[in-house]
Structure 1
Amino acid sequence: MAFFPVFWRILAALITSLLIFHRFSSAQSWDPGYTFMHQATTAPTVAFYDYIIVGGGTAGCPLAATLSQNSSVLLLERGGSPYGNANITDLAAFGAALSDLSPTSPSQRFVSEDGVVSARARVLGGGSCLNAGFYSRAGHDYVRLAGWDARLVNESYQWVEKVVAFQPPLKQWQSAVRDGLVEAGIRPYNGFTYDHLYGTKVGGTIFDRNGHRHTAADLLRYAKPSGLTVLLHAPVHQILFTSRGGTRPKAHGVIFTDANGLSHRAYLKRGSNNEVIVSSGALGSPQLLMMSGIGPIEQLQAHNITVVLDQPMVGLGMSDNPMNAVFVPSPQPVEVSLIQVVGITHNGTYIEAASGENFAGGARTQDYGMFSPRIGQLSTLPPKQRTQEAIDKAVEDMKALPQSAFVGGFILEKIMGPVSTGHLELTSRNPNDNPSVTFNYFKDPRDLQRCVDGIKIIENVIESKAFSSFRFDSLSIVTLLNMTASSPINLLPKHANASRSLEQFCKDTVMTIWHFHGGCQIARVVDRDYKVIGIDSLRVIDGSTFRNSPGTNPQATVMMLGRYMGVKLMRERHATNGPK
């Protein structure tokens, strides 16, 4: 094999090209023509609503669409629209948005204190505009432990799925991984299903057959136009509270700015059911609570924030499901695919895969793969040296590599939970700045053991008969592990021959799969109805309330939760006020 002696460079090239997608000639950006969507610069200085929702993401969009049916709703989104942006809507351009570091990018990069490069959404539709598209429901036990109404949960999932979920086309690579998982003992084979079932299954995707992404923003088509106002580029700086005569603080409005830096105020109308609802995600929701005076008193005082409620639990319980992958060069071409198949094990490990190849000849398009130097999660370029000039040079160097370097895929494992948790802290009072976040990957030995178990399953899949046509017999598992571990995946120190210890391999090669959660957890910051404990007329409804990430991918459940809680709030309002 000509490329084996230079496996460092080849691995980088392979990884760069794994998730590059051929552009579909039919892929066109779909414009829903929302009459209720405006730039914040058009907003009045002062306005009044029944509900003010902060964050037009995966939970905020379905929540706003539902509440608009019988209430006036303001949805404030700090980013822009996903429509007309081919880097979001076209599967062919997956990764381009993640690599865009401009101030107007729909993706905002951050690096955790653990040294892992990650990203948070800054666009209407939230993370559903940036992710790999896998759609899978939470398990029945998760629903039961959350205390949710199972019937309403099912109805809410179905409401979401009518718009955004599809069955993916399964081709050779994904089929080989599927059969390899079954051969490795991850049984039974459950076929195509949205349900979370032990064994191997084909899950859903938010990419349709034409390669168009469907996001949480598409759920706004359910909205009653006269009941909803969506403002873009409207970062919220503060939630406003009233408190008289020793009574509990009560949210009654917000302050936000527009793209010109002008300040606006939105207030709640008079009414016992009117509320401010924060749906800004695992980083944004605890950040906004703190900026508004709800959080650990030491942090608030350090930033000269007036204390509304000393709540030390805000920002705690931060978790990110660690991802570790093994990269497998293929002796034959493979299809382009994102996550479609998953092995759900009884030991708390999920096995998934993706594949990609470049066009034979012609211009190479590997600039924006999931692991491209432009994105920064994995490349041969050390993170501290990733200037734009250095990144551009790395991409150009990869274009000079042989075509054989651009064929293959990767198999990854993600652990459920996780058990290990960290914390979030403010860095400033600017909502556009990233807070400081620590996830403490593998701090709990149970998480590390699950990773080891997952890597062993990956080894069995690679060595399975079903997968044999997609591997080089001359590349042993140890070689593949060392090839993977030799690249500077994160800012953590590396160890020679990490494959000698799978524990060390897990620590050295940990990445994010962007499923971070926590910071405003149930029973710590909010109650079972998502009301902020100790505050009236304020809720948090999003993934920041989760103790564990639901299912194999949280986006289905976060969208479901937005619809679920919208229906519950609508019913409460009807019971109190009667039909409107």
Structure 2
Amino acid sequence: MDLSWCRFVGALVVAILLCLQGFCYSEQAPNYSFVHDSTSAPNISYYDYIIIGGGTAGCPLAATLSQNYSVLLIERGGSPYGNPNITNLANFGASLSDNTPTSPAQPFISEDGVYNSRARVLGGGSCLNAGFYTRASVDYVNNAGWDGNLVNQSYQWVEKLVAFEPPMRQWQSAVRDGLLEVGVTPYNGFTYDHIIGTKVGGTIFDRDGHRHTAADLLEYANPKGLTVLLNATVHQILFRTKGKAKPTAHGVIFSDSLGIKHRAQLNKGSKNEIILSAGALGSPQLLMLSGVGPAEHLRSHNITVLVDQPMVGQGMSDNPMNAIYIPSPLDVEVSLIQVVGITPVGSYIEAASGANFGSPAGMQSFGMFEPQTGELFTVRSDQSNPGMAKFFEAMKPADRVFRGGFILEKVLGPSSTGHLELRNKNPHDNPSVRFNYFQDPEDLRRCAEGIRIISRVIASRAFSKFTYPYLSFPALVNMTLSFPVNMLPKHNNVTSSHEQFCRDSVMTIWHYHGGNQVGKVVDNDYKVLGVDALRVIDGSTFQYSPGTNPQATVMMLGSRYMGVKIANDRVKSDGSS
């Protein structure tokens, strides 16, 4: 029997088995002929560009560079296609609560005691997040020194495939109207732009509730110029030092899903490069594992110091999120982030609702609940609060499932920073990271102002049908704190300050960044200082998180924008020589 026919039959059987297990993709998944499991990789291979990390930055960057060059994209996770927990909006949270060794989300707990996750899947964080799509502000673009025209063209390139206008239903509309009622104005309607006031932003979920991710941007790729390897973990970037003014990156060592090691190297040519796009945790970690980082720290792990670069792993930040849980007397739609109030006080107000938080998987989707706690009566009842007691007494057992949503705030910036260090030399393991939430008093002030705005939105006429009139805002605060939102000790916030609530209830919104910042670890072209033929293009280079959600900007910059610039600069260099 013909070998190709055997492979076809085998693939068909696997597809049928996956469908029987509920892993059929409801839309036509792209037929990427260039995507392969890492076990099929040769012992050694050669490319013009090697991109480490097939996430929000790496996928579109690979697609752009593949038009004219041979590109290898190495992703440590698997494919997002065919996984309904990634694809379907209603299943949001299931991937985040999946703690299996090969799950799309790899959990970690920061040294601050806050639950978090990092992506481990083709498409990166765009496969796991709440889907909000918004551009960076004009000031952010100008401060970064980016070409505004190319930025806009690059955003549009992304938006053609992955950005949509969300449907506005009752809960999101009530939050929008409540924000306007309490003065978060003007109303800017539906827009991708970052503008002070209240707006409806974009989403990467289409009208059918299906997620579109950075992996979809590989549709732009030249299939003849691109190779994507899944389930491939890079252990080390290789450098040449002999006869070189600076260490020069020339290859990588990676292991496949069976633990077998392979080598990929750059083709000969002074302009070929390795590009790190492994994210705010993965990129600093890999630089350190390869000998670029704080010398004393590297020596403590018996890593040979190639370049003493003390700023690798520094400047780590995570935008703190604080949410108020609001039980509703009415059924609400399943919705993720759609409306945002961009306030002049430095807080962003957003909301989510519905049954995606009522299932055991969804209970952890904002880091707020333990699995299997899908009933409100498990929340501690504060009998000293008459409204709280009346609420629990009035509830019928059939109503004690989660029905309601959250209004949350995220702090601009933030100004507080921490650091990242290696735990060990195993690239599969998470590094140690501390974000130092609210270390800067300005972050705490912004959070407290955001909580005050949320309290007014909840009390607004526009939002009134989704609230129990006898549940005061302090009761909602205390109810929220009853859930294990983090590992920090809790205070009784019925009479304490908004600032204390911010500290007690801090969570991640998965917008961590830093560790390889521009001007400290990389230059303005994202080339790593002190070495040649190596760049970092991802959120680890950011000083501050762009806009209310960074994914659009990561796809724009870490991909199309820098891909075009790299290709154009290379053509100009070739012409001048």
| TM-score under structure 2 length normalisation | 0.90
How far the C-alpha of 1:408 sits from its partner, in A, is 1.0
Match of 1:378 among 339, 360, 368: 368
Q: Could you tell me how far apart the structure 2 residues matched to 1:376 and 1:141 are?
A: 30
Match of 1:577 among 571, 574, 577: 574
2:443 aligned with 1:447: yes
Greater CA deviation, 548-557 or 462-471? 462-471
**Is the 2:45–2:265 contact (alpha carbons within 8 Å) kept by the matching residues of 1?**
yes
**Is the 1:28–1:90 contact (alpha carbons within 8 Å) kept by the matching residues of 2?**
no
State the match for 2:177 in structure 1.
179
How far the C-alpha of 1:487 sits from its partner, in A, is 2.4
Q: Could you tell me how far apart the structure 1 residues matched to 2:233 and 2:24 are?
A: 35
- The letter for the 2-side match of 1:569 is I
Greater CA deviation, 129-138 or 258-267? 258-267
- The letter for the 2-side match of 1:564 is Y
**Is the 1:29–1:86 contact (alpha carbons within 8 Å) kept by the matching residues of 2?**
no
Distance 1:408 1:216, change over 3 A: same
Match of 2:120 among 101, 122, 128: 122
SS at match of 2:360: helix
Deviation track 1:321-358 (CA, whole Å, cap 9, x = no partner) reads 00001111112121111110000011110000111048
Q: Could you tell me how far apart the structure 2 residues matched to 1:48 and 1:367 are?
A: 46
State the match for 1:140 in structure 2.
138
- The letter for the 1-side match of 2:307 is L
State the match for 2:109 in structure 1.
111
- The letter for the 1-side match of 2:266 is L
For residues 166-245 of structure 1, the aligned pairs below 5 Å read 166-245=164-243
For residues 253-332 of structure 1, the aligned pairs below 5 Å read 253-332=251-330
CA RMSD in angstroms comes to 2.0
How far the C-alpha of 1:486 sits from its partner, in A, is 2.7
State the match for 2:14 in structure 1.
none
How far the C-alpha of 1:106 sits from its partner, in A, is 0.4
How far the C-alpha of 1:94 sits from its partner, in A, is 1.0
State the match for 2:561 in structure 1.
564
How far the C-alpha of 1:37 sits from its partner, in A, is 0.3
How far the C-alpha of 1:430 sits from its partner, in A, is 1.4
2:82 aligned with 1:84: yes
**Is the 2:321–2:409 contact (alpha carbons within 8 Å) kept by the matching residues of 1?**
yes
- The letter for the 2-side match of 1:577 is D
How far the C-alpha of 1:367 sits from its partner, in A, is 1.8
Q: Could you tell me how far apart the structure 1 residues matched to 2:406 and 2:40 are?
A: 47
How far the C-alpha of 1:112 sits from its partner, in A, is 0.2
- The letter for the 2-side match of 1:520 is N
Match of 1:366 among 333, 356, 359: 359
Q: Between the two structures, name the one with larger relative contact order (CA 8 Å, sep ≥ 6).
A: 1
SS at match of 2:405: strand
**Is the 1:419–1:447 contact (alpha carbons within 8 Å) kept by the matching residues of 2?**
yes
- The letter for the 1-side match of 2:333 is E
Deviation track 1:225-263 (CA, whole Å, cap 9, x = no partner) reads 000000001100000001124621110110001111111
SS at match of 1:402: helix
- The letter for the 2-side match of 1:136 is T
How far the C-alpha of 1:482 sits from its partner, in A, is 1.3
SS at match of 1:342: strand
Distance 1:91 1:445, change over 3 A: same
**Is the 1:315–1:425 contact (alpha carbons within 8 Å) kept by the matching residues of 2?**
yes
State the match for 2:56 in structure 1.
58
How far the C-alpha of 1:395 sits from its partner, in A, is 5.5
Distance 1:150 1:539, change over 3 A: same
Q: Could you tell me how far apart the structure 2 residues matched to 1:218 and 1:325 are?
A: 31
Deviation track 1:262-308 (CA, whole Å, cap 9, x = no partner) reads 11111111112100000000000000000000000111111111111
Deviation track 1:192-244 (CA, whole Å, cap 9, x = no partner) reads 00000000000000000111100000000000000000000110000000112
State the match for 1:102 in structure 2.
100
How far the C-alpha of 1:578 sits from its partner, in A, is 5.6
For residues 344-423 of structure 1, the aligned pairs below 5 Å read 344-357=342-355, 366-369=359-362, 371-372=363-364, 377-379=367-369, 391=371, 394=373, 402-423=398-419
**Is the 1:27–1:90 contact (alpha carbons within 8 Å) kept by the matching residues of 2?**
no
**Is the 2:198–2:340 contact (alpha carbons within 8 Å) kept by the matching residues of 1?**
yes
- The letter for the 2-side match of 1:243 is T
Deviation track 1:62-98 (CA, whole Å, cap 9, x = no partner) reads 0000000000000000000101111111112111111
How far the C-alpha of 1:498 sits from its partner, in A, is 5.3
Q: Could you tell me how far apart the structure 1 residues matched to 2:180 and 2:375 are?
A: 40
Distance 1:25 1:167, change over 3 A: farther
**Is the 1:30–1:83 contact (alpha carbons within 8 Å) kept by the matching residues of 2?**
no
Give the number of equivalent residue pairs: 537
How far the C-alpha of 1:558 sits from its partner, in A, is 0.2
Unmatched segments (≥5 aa) in structure 1: 1-23, 359-363, 382-390
State the match for 2:43 in structure 1.
45
How far the C-alpha of 1:431 sits from its partner, in A, is 1.2
Q: Could you tell me how far apart the structure 2 residues matched to 1:423 and 1:433 are?
A: 17
- The letter for the 2-side match of 1:218 is D
How far the C-alpha of 1:30 sits from its partner, in A, is 3.4
Q: Could you tell me how far apart the structure 2 residues matched to 1:365 and 1:506 are?
A: 24
Q: Could you tell me how far apart the structure 2 residues matched to 1:328 and 1:26 are?
A: 34
- The letter for the 1-side match of 2:314 is L
**Is the 1:240–1:292 contact (alpha carbons within 8 Å) kept by the matching residues of 2?**
yes
For residues 419-430 of structure 1, the aligned pairs below 5 Å read 419-430=415-426
Q: Could you tell me how far apart the structure 2 residues matched to 1:273 and 1:246 are?
A: 15
2:491 aligned with 1:495: yes
- The letter for the 2-side match of 1:262 is I
Distance 1:567 1:26, change over 3 A: same
**Is the 1:319–1:518 contact (alpha carbons within 8 Å) kept by the matching residues of 2?**
yes
Greater CA deviation, 91-100 or 129-138? 91-100
State the match for 2:516 in structure 1.
520
SS at match of 2:224: helix
**Is the 1:27–1:210 contact (alpha carbons within 8 Å) kept by the matching residues of 2?**
no
- The letter for the 2-side match of 1:57 is G
State the match for 1:555 in structure 2.
551
Q: Could you tell me how far apart the structure 2 residues matched to 1:486 and 1:282 are?
A: 31
**Is the 1:329–1:408 contact (alpha carbons within 8 Å) kept by the matching residues of 2?**
yes
**Is the 2:182–2:460 contact (alpha carbons within 8 Å) kept by the matching residues of 1?**
yes
Q: Could you tell me how far apart the structure 1 residues matched to 2:153 and 2:268 are?
A: 32
2:532 aligned with 1:536: yes
**Is the 1:333–1:357 contact (alpha carbons within 8 Å) kept by the matching residues of 2?**
no
Distance 1:376 1:190, change over 3 A: closer
- The letter for the 1-side match of 2:566 is L
SS at match of 1:225: coil
- The letter for the 2-side match of 1:417 is G
- The letter for the 1-side match of 2:367 is Q
- The letter for the 2-side match of 1:410 is F
**Is the 2:24–2:84 contact (alpha carbons within 8 Å) kept by the matching residues of 1?**
no
How far the C-alpha of 1:376 sits from its partner, in A, is 8.5
Distance 1:547 1:241, change over 3 A: same
**Is the 1:53–1:276 contact (alpha carbons within 8 Å) kept by the matching residues of 2?**
yes
- The letter for the 2-side match of 1:377 is G
Distance 1:62 1:99, change over 3 A: same
Greater CA deviation, 76-85 or 27-36? 27-36
Q: Could you tell me how far apart the structure 2 residues matched to 1:227 and 1:321 are?
A: 37
How far the C-alpha of 1:475 sits from its partner, in A, is 0.5
